[in-house]
Structure 1
Amino acid sequence: MAPHGDKSDAAEEAMVAEAEKRPISTVLIVIAMQTEALPLVNKFNLTEAPDSVFPKGVPWVRYHGFYKDLQINLVWPGKDESLGVDCVGTVPASLVTYASIQALQPDLIINAGTAGGFKDKGACIGDVYLASDVAYHDRRIPIPVFDLYGVGLRQACSTPTLQNELNLKVGKLSTGNSLDMSPHDEASIVANDATVKDMEGAAVAYVADLLKVPAIFVKAVTDIIDGEKPTAEEFLQNLVAVTAALEEGVTKVIDFINGKSLSDL
């Protein structure tokens, strides 16, 4: 007789395999900034949920609706109540992702947003990337094994058919809590072999992996990190135009997902 743990593992694997064959019905889009979110809200005709599934007092915002055969929930962490700016970074992203998974039970997470790109890796302003895997570049713990934990490398949900059909660029994503790039961060990003850099992806990946929800990462390039212009200046200059490219890229992904199972991706 097999140990009970083996039975549980086998049953869990069977459930996962079955889930991968079912058509995707509920998609959770996690996004960091209102400027990034609103074009998608308009595109998919989503409405702000009046009865929030989130704890009382948090600034998190949920939009929801139906698009073709999909139920879509788009969440963003809202505005900082004291300063009035978007709650960017890993902590708000991880919290809102966790709460959304618990409340909404999505079949698939799409972490969509803007990102910096490296021209040495072929990135250009307005390019839309699917991340193959994600890691941190600002959690440096120089102790054996803890160093790997700090990097937190995780693979995105495998989507070979989607990548081929939509002809999107694919690259590695590196996440940190600063818009600029210190020499220490740069060394870690190089070690991560990253093409794009953001402030949320690895946090979303951590929570998605923790709760066993497949996740993909769609990132549009607003600024060239190894270019000549200051990052903040270039980011603000291109943000509105690049969110249009992001909306187009996410729409293509959603259209492709509609009617398909995870194993079809």
Structure 2
Amino acid sequence: MAPLGDNTNIAEEVMVAEAEKRPVSTIVIIIAMQTEALPLVAKFQLTEDLDSVFPKGVPWVRYHGLYKDLHINIIWPGKDGVLGVDSVGTISASLVTYASIQALQPDLIINAGTAGGFKAKGASIGDVFLACNVAFHDRRIPIPVFDQYGICAKQTFPTPNLLKEVQLKVGKLSTGDSLDMSPHDEAAIIANDATVKDMEGAAVAYVADLLSVPAIFIKAVTDIVDGDKPTAEEFLQNLVAVTAALDQSVTQIVDFISGKSISEL
């Protein structure tokens, strides 16, 4: 007779295998900025959840509805209660990802957003990338093993059929909590072999991996980090136009997912 622990592991593996064969039903889309979220809210004809599934007092916003055969949830971390700006960055991203998984039990997470790109790695303004790997570049812990924990490099969930259909660019994503890039960050980003950098992706990946939910990462380039224009200026200049490209790609991805199982992506 097999030990109880072995039977439990086998049962979990069977459940995961069965889940991967069922058509995707519920998707959570994590988006950091309202400007990025609202066009998709309109596209999918979602409504804001006024009876929030989230804890009382948090600014997090859920838009939800049925699109084709999919239950779509767009989660936006909302505005900072004091300063009134979008709640960007890894802390908000990890919190809303955890809370969304607990409350909504999604089959798939999509982290969609804008990002800086590196022309040295082939990125141009308006390019949309599907991240093949994610890592942090600003969690510096120069102690053996802790250093790798800080970087937290992960390969993302593979979606070969989706990639073939939608024909996005592919690149590695590096995440940190600063819009600009210090010399320390630059060295870490180069070490991560990143094509794009953002402020949320690796945090979403960490939580999704922790709770065993497949996640994909779609990033559209608003600014060229190794270019000759100030990052903040270029980001604001291109945000609206690049968001349109991002939203088009996300729509194509959701259309592709409709009716398919996780294993078919």
Aligned equivalents of 1:247, 1:137: Cα separation in 2: 27
- SS of the aligned residue for 1:193 comes to coil
Q: Which residue of 1 aligns with 2:253?
A: 253
The superposition leaves residues 89-141 of structure 1 with CA deviations (integer Å, 9 ceiling, x where unpaired) of 00001111111110011000000000000011110101111001110000011
Q: Which residue of 1 aligns with 2:224?
A: 224
How is 1:20-35 mapped onto 2 (pairs within 5 angstroms)?
A: 20-35=20-35
- Write the letter of the residue equivalent to 2:240: V
- Write the letter of the residue equivalent to 1:133: N
Aligned equivalents of 2:162, 2:242: Cα separation in 1: 21
- Write the letter of the residue equivalent to 1:72: I
What RMSD over aligned residues (CA atoms) do the two structures have, in Å?
0.7
How is 1:108-147 mapped onto 2 (pairs within 5 angstroms)?
A: 108-147=108-147
The superposition leaves residues 6-64 of structure 1 with CA deviations (integer Å, 9 ceiling, x where unpaired) of 22222111111111100000000000000000011011011101110011111100000
The superposition leaves residues 147-188 of structure 1 with CA deviations (integer Å, 9 ceiling, x where unpaired) of 110001122111011111111001110000000000100110
- Write the letter of the residue equivalent to 2:211: L
- Write the letter of the residue equivalent to 2:227: G
- SS of the aligned residue for 1:14 comes to helix
Aligned equivalents of 2:17, 2:86: Cα separation in 1: 38
Aligned equivalents of 1:11, 1:195: Cα separation in 2: 39
Aligned equivalents of 1:5, 1:115: Cα separation in 2: 43
Quick one: percent identity of the two aligned structures? Answer: 78
Q: Which residue of 1 aligns with 2:68?
A: 68
- Write the letter of the residue equivalent to 1:255: D
Q: Structure 1 residue 200: deviation in Å?
A: 0.2
Q: Structure 1 residue 81: deviation in Å?
A: 1.0
Q: Which residue of 2 aligns with 1:149?
A: 149
Structure 1 runs (4+) deviating above 6 angstroms are: none
The superposition leaves residues 223-263 of structure 1 with CA deviations (integer Å, 9 ceiling, x where unpaired) of 00011101000000000000000100100100000000011
Tell me the TM-score normalised to structure 2 length: 0.99
Aligned equivalents of 1:26, 1:137: Cα separation in 2: 31
Q: Which residue of 2 aligns with 1:91?
A: 91
Aligned equivalents of 1:80, 1:21: Cα separation in 2: 40
Q: Which residue of 1 aligns with 2:209?
A: 209
Aligned equivalents of 1:9, 1:48: Cα separation in 2: 39
- Write the letter of the residue equivalent to 2:126: G
Q: Which runs of 5+ in 1 are unaligned?
A: none
